[in-house]
């Protein structure tokens, strides 16, 4: 398996623009997670899905952030409009039902100018 | 909401065992101890987890004290590629999705 796939790997955009980050979880995994990592706040869980259904989005910072999982093999995290403080590395992770470990993707480094 | 305490940094000589401590004095009966590491610019990597028994896999060993209030991750023969930030996390099985990574321990393996 190729592991968790994220795209793009790097994104540079201007303040006010819409940003869409993409994730393909490992095939057969029932859970998908979106994390954000910054120097100030470390690694934070934003939202997670179980069987394509959002279960907990309490970590989503504000209404500008939204996440969807239209099917078991694809998820998006959208920021609209983007702000400089959204600059961070965004990770997607997935895990299978009944096991402990989450497998992380390589991350998307977002820079908002 | 920190449930674990780890030293911010440690050094280890290449080829020697690296012992990374973690305190989790408020751990509850149904919570597991998980260890992850993050090599610079990469996504976190699962290492090992345990409930109360010591565990070993191809990457590391996990020693959990009898009262479960602390644990030690052991890398038996550290290499330069083990230089990373190591995170100790406690979470219950059925809420194992709620991982709080904290600040971790930055391990530097010295040649």
Mean pLDDT for chain A?
Answer: 94
Q: What is the pLDDT of residue B99?
A: 81
- B1 versus B50: which is more confidently predicted? B50
Interface test with chain B among A46, A92, A101, by most B beta carbons within 10 Å: A101
B87 contact residues in A (CB cutoff 8 A): 43
- C-alpha closest to that of A3 among A34, A29, A22: A29
Q: Average the pLDDT over each of B52-56, B59-63, B100-104 and give the range with the smallest value.
A: B100-104
pLDDT in tens, B14-25: 999 999 999 999
Q: Is the pLDDT of residue B96 over 90?
A: no
Q: What is the chain A residue with the closest CA to B95?
A: A100
φ and ψ of B106, to 5 deg: -85, 110
Q: What is the pLDDT of residue B30?
A: 84
Question: Do B49 and A33 make contact, defined as CB atoms within 8 angstroms?
Answer: no
Question: Do A56 and B103 make contact, defined as CB atoms within 8 angstroms?
Answer: no
- B5 contacts B103 by C-beta, under 8 angstroms: no
pLDDT in tens, A58-75: 899 889 999 999 999 999
pLDDT in tens, A37-60: 999 888 999 999 999 999 989 899
- How does DSSP classify residue B52? S
Cis peptide before A56 (omega within 30 of 0): no
Percent of chain B whose predicted confidence (pLDDT) is above 70: 94
Q: What is the pLDDT of residue B94?
A: 65
Q: Does residue B91 come out as left (phi exceeding 0), alpha (psi in the -120 to 50 range) or beta?
A: beta
Percent of chain B whose predicted confidence (pLDDT) is above 90: 76
- B92 versus B29: which is more confidently predicted? B29
Strands (E), A51-100: 53-56, 65-71, 74-79, 88-95
The distance of A107 to chain B (nearest Cα, Å) reads 6
Nearest to B43 among A31, A100, A107 (CB): A107
Q: Is the pLDDT of residue A76 over 70?
A: yes
Distances (CA, A) of B31 to A32, A97, B68: 21, 17, 10
Q: What is the pLDDT of residue B24?
A: 94
């Amino acid at each position: 398996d190729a592991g968790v796939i994220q795209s793009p790997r790097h994104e540079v955009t201007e303040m006010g623009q819409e940003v869409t980050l993409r994730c393909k979880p490992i095939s057969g995994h029932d859970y998908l997670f979106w994390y954000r990592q910054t120097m100030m706040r470390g690694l934070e869980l934003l939202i997670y899905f179980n069987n394509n259904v959002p279960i907990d989005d309490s970590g989503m910072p504000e209404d500008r952030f939204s996440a969807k999982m239209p099917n078991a093999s694809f998820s998006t995290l959208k920021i609209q409009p983007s702000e400089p403080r959204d600059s961070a590395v965004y990770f997607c992770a997935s895990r299978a039902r009944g096991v402990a470990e989450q497998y992380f993707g390589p991350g998307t480094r977002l820079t908002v100018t | 909401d920190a449930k674990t305490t780890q030293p911010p940094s440690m050094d280890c000589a290449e080829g020697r065992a690296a012992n990374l401590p973690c305190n989790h004095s408020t751990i509850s009966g149904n919570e597991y101890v998980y260890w992850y590491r993050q090599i610079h610019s990469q996504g976190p990597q699962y290492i090992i987890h345990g409930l109360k028994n010591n565990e070993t896999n191809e990457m590391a060993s996990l020693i959990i004290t009898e009262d479960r209030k602390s644990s030690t991750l052991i890398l038996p023969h550290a290499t330069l590629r083990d230089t990373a930030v190591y995170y100790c996390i406690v979470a219950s099985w059925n809420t194992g999705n709620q991982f709080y990574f904290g600040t971790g321990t930055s391990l530097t393996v010295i040649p």
